[in-house]
Structure 1
Amino acid sequence: MPTHTRIRMFNTKATYPNQSLDNDLCQAVRAGNTVYVRGQVGTDFEGRLVGLGDPAAQANQAMKNVKQLLEEAGSDLGHIVKTTTYITDPRFREPVYREVGQWLKGVYPISTGLVVAGLAQPEWLMEIDVIAVIPDDEEGAQ
C-alpha cells in the first residue's frame, strides 16, 4: 500500500533540455493529509515562460500552478500552511509578495522569504514552494 501519491511526474531530461540531467521528479506529493508542492516559477506546465523580466507576472503564473497542483492533490489554496518564496533581487520583494498575497488573502500561512543568488534557470526571477493540508472535516478546518 503506497504511503504517498506523486502528482505530475516528469524527467528533467525532457523538462530542461539545456541541461544534461536525467532525474525523475514530480510537481507535488500527497502524503497522508499533507501536500508538498515543489518550487513553482513563472513557467506554465507546457514549459512556456510567462513574464520574461517581470517578477509579478512570474509570481502570478507560479500561483496558478500552485492552485492547479493543490486541486489535483485534493486540496486548495485555502489549506496552505507554509510558503517559501525565493527572489533573485531584493527589489522583487514587493511585486512578488503583493501578487502572492492576492492569491492567499485570508489564508494566513506561515511564510519564509529568501533572496538568492540565482535559480535553476537564469530567466526565473522568483520561485515559491508550499505545504498544504487536506482537512478531514471541512467544517473543522480553519
Structure 2
Amino acid sequence: MPTHTRIRPFNTKEAYPEQNLDNDVCMAVRAGNTVYVRGQTAMALDGSIVGIGDAAAQSENAMSCAKILLEEAGAKLEDVVKIVIYITDRAYREPVYRVVGKWLKGVYPVSTGIIVQGLAKPEYLMEIDIIAEIPAERA
C-alpha cells in the first residue's frame, strides 16, 4: 500500500524539451494529511507560459494552479501552512507578494522569500512552493 498519492505525474523531458532532462516527478504529493505542491510559476497546467515579463500575472497563474492542485489532493488554500517565494529581481517582490497575499488573505502561513539569479526557464520571474496540512476532520 503506497504511503502517499502522486498528483499529475509527468516527466521533465515533456515540460522542458529544450533541456536534456529525464526526471519522473509530479505536480503535488499527498502524504497522510500533508500536501506538497511543486513550485508553481508562469507555466500553466496545460504547459503554456503565462505573463511573460509580468511578475504579477505569473503570480496569478501560479496561485490559480496551486489552488487546483491543492483541491485535487483534497486540500484548500486555507490549509496552506508554509510558502517559499522565489523571485529573480527584488523589484518583483511587491507585485508578487500582493498577488499571493490576495490569494492567502486570512490564512497566515509561514513565509520565506528568496531572491535568486534564475529559475528553470528564463521567462520565469517568480516561483512559489507550497505545503498544506488538511485538518483531521476533513481528511
2:75 alignment partner in structure 1: 75
| In structure 1, distance between residues paired with 2:15 and 2:114 | 25
1:118 alignment partner AA: G
2:135 alignment partner in structure 1: 135
2:19 alignment partner in structure 1: 19
Q: Structure 1 length normalisation: TM-score?
A: 0.96
Runs of 4+ in structure 1 off by over 3 angstroms are none
1:62 alignment partner in structure 2: 62
2:38 alignment partner in structure 1: 38
1:94 alignment partner in structure 2: 94
Helix, strand or coil for the counterpart of 2:105?
A: coil
| In structure 2, distance between residues paired with 1:113 and 1:83 | 8
1:53 alignment partner in structure 2: 53
Post-superposition Cα deviations, 1:48-78, rounded to whole Å, max 9, x if no partner, equal 1110000000000000010000000000100
Pairwise CA RMSD of aligned residues? 0.7
1:47 Cα shift? Answer: 1.0
| In structure 2, distance between residues paired with 1:47 and 1:56 | 19
| In structure 1, distance between residues paired with 2:126 and 2:79 | 22
| In structure 2, distance between residues paired with 1:107 and 1:49 | 28
| In structure 2, distance between residues paired with 1:72 and 1:135 | 16
Helix, strand or coil for the counterpart of 1:17?
A: coil
Q: Which runs of 5+ in 2 are unaligned?
A: none
1:42 Cα shift? Answer: 1.2
Aligned length: 138
Helix, strand or coil for the counterpart of 1:29?
A: strand
Post-superposition Cα deviations, 1:86-134, rounded to whole Å, max 9, x if no partner, equal 0000000000000000000000000000000000100000000100011
Helix, strand or coil for the counterpart of 2:50?
A: coil
2:104 alignment partner in structure 1: 104
| In structure 1, distance between residues paired with 2:98 and 2:80 | 17
1:80 Cα shift? Answer: 0.1
Helix, strand or coil for the counterpart of 1:22?
A: coil
